[in-house]
Structure 1
């Protein structure tokens, strides 16, 4: 099980590594890079990787040995004229669902808290994945 030591968002790097190998995807953006991405200039098809939140234990020892379940959104971005939306989504799910990589995982697909969105030229398809991790609190 992945242990969070110094960087609470450390799981994003192994996750990004897996997503960069998805057939047909040109670019994977981390959430802190998205502020600099202008819609009309972004490379597509691409993935936006966004930390969505976590679920914490309610057990009495949850303060020291926590079992944290992080949720990450994997948002496929395609131009509307791209006719391979479904193929890209299938490739993402197959690459990530159940995957164990760099001591993270297995990545489990869960219900997505957001609906697809569409702009004049782009489509945004969110998928959600969770991973259980451990973290030590105060001694």
Structure 2
């Protein structure tokens, strides 16, 4: 079956997180990390961002003249939490984030968005960020599938 929407994983991923993490105040699609940092935050929340592809260069990866490609899409899920921390150590945000991180990893790691995608696996780590009481905890997941041009 030909894939008509190259970013088809976004909405099922959002739905999966909403289903498995009902304690979140929201799960949002976000264009990039800069947008996330400048928006008014509702917390706790998850933000889903497409961060690009990995493609191999061998004939196994590229198939017949590059028309059939094994693609690994990278999807970041950033958990955002807030804790009014008068001394700005981030400790409260980490306490809030810990259980949410465990729930996120259980919900997404090994999950298959549909029959065309291999089970999602963790990708390269991205460091967390803390500022003014907000903690941002990013996790990258790899979604591998075959795309036929």
Query: TM bucket by the smaller chain?
Result: 0.7 to 0.9
Gaps of 5+ in 2: 85-92
Gaps of 5+ in 1: none
Matches within 5 A, 1:58-73: 58-60=57-59, 62=62, 63-73=66-76
Segment of structure 1 superposing worse, 54-63 or 88-97: 54-63
* CA deviation profile, 1:51-85 (whole Å, cap 9, x unmatched): 11111121236111101001111110000345421
If the length of structure 1 is used for normalisation, what is the TM-score?
A: 0.83
* CA deviation profile, 1:68-114 (whole Å, cap 9, x unmatched): 001111110000345421000000001111012333441111231x2
Quick one: higher RCO (CA 8 Å, sep 6+), 1 or 2? 1
Partner of 2:88: none
If the length of structure 2 is used for normalisation, what is the TM-score?
A: 0.78
Aligned residue-pair number: 133
| SS of structure 1 residue aligned to 2:53 | strand
Q: Which has the higher helix share?
A: 2
Partner of 2:81: 78
Moved over 4 A (4+): 36-39
Contact 2:14 2:48 in 1 (8 A): yes
Matches within 5 A, 1:24-63: 24-32=23-31, 35=35, 38-39=38-39, 41-60=40-59, 62=62, 63=66
Contact 1:4 1:133 in 2 (8 A): no
RMSD of Structure 2 on Structure 1 (CA): 2.3
| SS of structure 1 residue aligned to 2:59 | coil
Q: 1:33 to 1:69 in 2, by over 3 A?
A: closer
| SS of structure 1 residue aligned to 2:4 | coil
| Equivalent-residue separation in structure 2 for 1:71 and 1:87 (angstroms) | 23
Partner of 1:94: 106
